[in-house]
Homo-oligomer: A and B are copies of this chain.
Amino acid sequence: MALEHAILVSLAERSGTGYELARRFDASIGNFWKASHQQIYKVLGRMEADGLVTSEVVAQDGRPDKKVYAITDAGRAELARFTTEPSAPEPLRSSFAVKLRALEHGDRDAILADVHRMRAHHTEKLAYYETSAERFYPDPDALDPADVGPYLVLRGGIIGEQTALSWCDEILERLEGRAPR
């Protein structure tokens, strides 16, 4: 149930509506834990029933009312408890790896096209992460203590994307018999 904890982290940074959380998930935490707005609303409802968050309805003109959620003390305690839990080894699921294993049973050209598509995707993501790093943490040796966690997570994203890119290049080199690009 890490979605619950991802929401708690996000609300600990600052309060917000379900809609806002969904967008934050698109941008930052969502790089490491995806969630749709439907699911966020559902989980927020359960979390409120469990006392981990509270909500306050705010009227707006020209726009629908919104429900601003805030973390409670119980929520903060649950978040702290969560950090003491050992992480289960992440079950890595890659349908692309399955496809690559099927190379001899499938369409080689289509798989190559897929690698090129993935390569472009990872290039874009890497650029996005690197821009974020420069913008938010221009001097990594002088980080605000509150930024250390988020910074290290971003670093994980960067080296992960670099590795994904290297893998694409290695595949292309071998399957196209030349250096990529």
Contact = CB atoms under 8 A, between A and B. Distances in A.
Given A92-B32, A93-B2, A106-B80, A100 B167 contact: no
Contacts of A156: 94, 97, 100, 167
Contact of A174 (B101, B110, B113, B148): B148
A6 to B, nearest CB: 5
Contacts of A160: 92, 163, 167
**This chain: how many copies in the complex?**
2
A145 B5 CA distance: 46
A96 interface: yes
A74 interface: no
Interface string A122-156: 00000000000000000000000110111011011
A84 interface: yes
B100 A149 contact: yes
Nearest to A167: B156
A79 B93 contact: no
A22 to B, nearest CB: 15
B152 A159 contact: no
Given A89-B121, A95-B90, A167 B155 contact: yes
A98 interface: yes
B83 A87 contact: no
B104 A95 contact: no
Contact of A110 (B2, B83, B88): B83
Contacts of A121: 89
Nearest to A94: B32
Contacts of A101: 9, 29, 32, 149-150, 153
